[in-house]
Amino acid sequence: MGSGGESLKNLKVPNVQELAATLDKTSEIPQRYIWPEAIANPVQSNISIDDLPIVDLGRLLDPALCQEESAKLEHACQEWGIFLVVNHGISKELLSKIKDDITEFFKLPLKEKEIFAQIPNNFQGYGQAFVASEKQKLVWADMLYLVSRPPTSRDMRFWPSKPPTFRESLDKFSCASKEIAISLLTLMSGILGVDPEAVLDKFKDEPQALKANYYPPCSEADKVLGVKSHTDTQAITVLLQVSDVQGLQVNKDGRWSSVHVPADDLVVFIGDALEILSNGKFKAMEHRVAVHNTKERISIAAFLSPTDTAIIGPLPELVRGSSEKYKSVSYADYRQAYIAARQAERSSLESMKSV
């Protein structure tokens, strides 16, 4: 999803938390929420904590330890496109505050949440995204989507004022997750062998969006999806799972596998923009979210994206002597194509490939 307020079509959809609360255990899930792709491609394996790459940010930022840790980061970016970040520097206090506030927000009565509802054809606020036709399937989730950086781009109409500390904790989480994403981007530039300044130049003002996801329980959990399979459009996603209810799944080598996210660790995804800038050296990981049959699941993602006017294409240093695997377009154009592709249920990354 892009960082802008978007003017593309975005239809209002029923509130899923309400829907889940009104369905009893024996009633059938409406057909629009049943995903044949979830039924046809069930999860096949678990990725164990020993297999998922883990990087220690404290070690990465320590000159004496950085080299060894960088090798892990390189492996994670090239072979996975998803990794856990430990020792990330976000305090326990802030983690528990943001988790509590998000949980409290979703507990509010619908009327109070709807004060911050999306307005027509805008992605910001409480609602759901990527629905442009009455025929489209619907995901089993509600979300709160906010443009969060640069701070001057915030539209406070959509920032919940309840619970009373929510705005402050969102602001702090936005800042902390941006710092982590910028540190990783700088380290990744080094791994690619390109000047970090040339990369950071594409991220002027450090645009960022936040998305809090609420996945109600579903009695037919294996037929619905909380988020359908996708890669994130931005460069780097930093994701915090709010409770210990798991649900994240990745498509690793053609098999859907569930990922166990330990409490208070962060999940990082490489997004399309970084795959393209790296000329395919780094991979954007395809992922989706399964919902639980009896428990709610909550998460918050912070997406760091390039500046709208930045040209997203393979970095010149990476294509000397080898071919460009992707076309070059402005990030704003790529984001529009991404949204259109998600609404049409296609991949925009595929259309960027040169041959």
- Four-CA torsion 274, 277, 281, 282, nearest 10 degrees: 0
Q: Which is nearer to ligand OGA, 59 or 287 (CB)?
A: 287
Which option in ligand OGA, Ni ion, none does residue 174 bind, with CB closer than 5 to 8 A by kind? Answer: none
Q: Which is nearer to Ni ion, 60 or 185 (CB)?
A: 185
HSE, CB side, 13 Å, CA atoms: give it for residue 164.
0
Which option in Ni ion, ligand OGA, none does residue 259 bind, with CB closer than 5 to 8 A by kind? Answer: none
List of residues 6+ apart from 36 with CB closer than 8 A: none
Q: How far is the CB of 286 from Ni ion (least distance, A)?
A: 9
Sheet containing 45-47, strands listed edge to edge, beginning at the edge strand earlier in sequence: 45-47, 255-259, 248-252, 287-289, 227-230
Binding mask 9-38 for Ni ion (x = CB under 5 A): ------------------------------
- Chain residues 223-242 in contact with ligand OGA, contact rule CB under 6 A: 227, 232, 239
Sign of the C-alpha dihedral computed for residues 48, 285, 97 and 213 taken in this order:
negative
Range in contact with Ni ion (rule: CB under 5 A) among 74-82, 184-192, 225-233, 345-353:
225-233
Does 283 engage in binding with ligand OGA (CB under 6 A)? no
Nearest to 104 by CA among 146, 172, 163: 163
Which option in Ni ion, ligand OGA, none does residue 348 bind, with CB closer than 5 to 8 A by kind? Answer: none
Q: Among 212, 301, 349, 352, which residue sits at the site for ligand OGA (rule: CB under 6 A)?
A: 301
Q: Among 59, 113, 287, 325, which residue sits at the site for ligand OGA (rule: CB under 6 A)?
A: 287
Does 342 engage in binding with ligand OGA (CB under 6 A)? no
Q: How far is the CB of 320 from ligand OGA (least distance, A)?
A: 34
Range in contact with Ni ion (rule: CB under 5 A) among 101-109, 178-186, 213-221, 228-236:
228-236
* Helix, strand, coil tally for the chain in percent (to 5): 35, 20, 45
- Element containing residue 144 per DSSP (H, E): strand 142-149
Does 285 engage in binding with ligand OGA (CB under 6 A)? no
Does 38 engage in binding with ligand OGA (CB under 6 A)? no
Question: Which pair of tokens denotes residue 82?
Answer: 């998803």
Q: Among 299, 305, 343, 348, which residue sits at the site for ligand OGA (rule: CB under 6 A)?
A: 299
Q: Which residues are bridge partners to 213 per DSSP?
A: 143, 299
Whether the Cβ atoms of residue 289 and residue 249 lie closer than 8 Å to each other? yes
Please identify the residue of the shown chain whose CB is closest to the bound Ni ion.
232
Whether the Cβ atoms of residue 239 and residue 180 lie closer than 8 Å to each other? no
Alpha-carbon distances of 298 from 94, 199, 216, rounded to whole Å: 16, 32, 9
Does 232 engage in binding with Ni ion (CB under 5 A)? yes
Would you tell me which residues interact with ligand OGA (CB under 6 A)?
211, 213, 227, 232, 239, 248, 287, 289, 299, 301
Would you tell me which residues interact with Ni ion (CB under 5 A)?
232
